[in-house]
Structure 1
Amino acid sequence: MGPVSDSRAEEARLLEGCLRGENDAWKAVFKNYHPKLVAYIAVMSQGGSGEQAEEVAAAVWCALWCGASTHFGRYDPRAGGLLKYFKSLARGEIWRRRRSERSRRFRECKAARSESTRDEVGRGLVLQEFLATLTPREREFCMSILMSVSEFGGRAEVSTCNEWKLRSRVMKKFRTYMLQNN
């Protein structure tokens, strides 16, 4: 008997033990396959944290423990070893989590206040948000000189040089604000 058939026989023995509910068999399966499964999940998660990989692995082990006869009943040793089967379960769990995250984001966007949706935002709200990013002096300059709002006392007293500096800063902040929010 070669090493592949020995490992298949060992996997079959462990599988039977798990189906009978033997703790030693579960411990051996977990000890043999958990580190490899976590490493695989970390790679599949594309840079996800080790904690996320552990969570996915825990979900796989929980599903196996709770539905051992169902899950192990679907296992086909001819298709590959137990590790390959565990990896397929992990891929399914990763896919379910990604789909759930996409659905959650979609629901949140749909339920978000109309003011927070860019297409529905009134110009007044955008202007108020932008003015909140300015310093008090820049805000006064913007309102009194650039926008000519009369309640700010007409033109603020600023020198030509200072006016140029304030205008440059306000316009730079405006461009940055608009680029970040588009």
Structure 2
Amino acid sequence: MTAANPMLPGPSARLLFRWWTADDLELARGLWGDPQVTAKIAGEPFTPPQIAARLAAEIDQGRAHGLQYWPVFLRDDGAHVGCCGLRPRAQGVHELGFHLRSTFWGRGLASEAARATVEFAFGPLAARGLFAGHHPDNTASRHVLLRLGFRHTHDEWYAATGAMHPSYRLDR
């Protein structure tokens, strides 16, 4: 939890959110250590130091801004599904992002987590708008964003993958 903003999205029908902590390195390894996941984020697998740095960055993001890509868990058995959350982007606009463990792909969990996060952004956070982007080969993320009402606005260079990523906007 953070002093800046102790609130979280959700819960949803199947999911719970919480804050990342320094004790979550194994969860982070399970998510960002999966080459199928990181192929769409960074174009290559994360090394153990990169995984630890990513976890530290999420924790720091929470402390500094009261936002992070929060870890997400199944309500029924507590299994770690991945993460979904927000980053500050511009005045009143946040960036929505979600990364799911590959074993949970295709179950509608990204849509459910993202929907809870959008409701949180436009509800308690009173965001004016949301930005989101995805790897050009990630059609599943595109479908999630379109189902949530995001509209394609432009393609944006993403240095981590060396590709132009389709980018979207959702206004309140």
TM-score of the pair, normalised by structure 2: 0.28
Higher relative contact order (CA 8 A, sep 6+): 2
The structure that has the greater radius of gyration is 1
Q: Which of the two has greater strand per residue?
A: 2
Between Structure 1 and Structure 2, which shows a larger proportion of helix residues?
1
Q: TM-score, normalised by structure 1?
A: 0.27
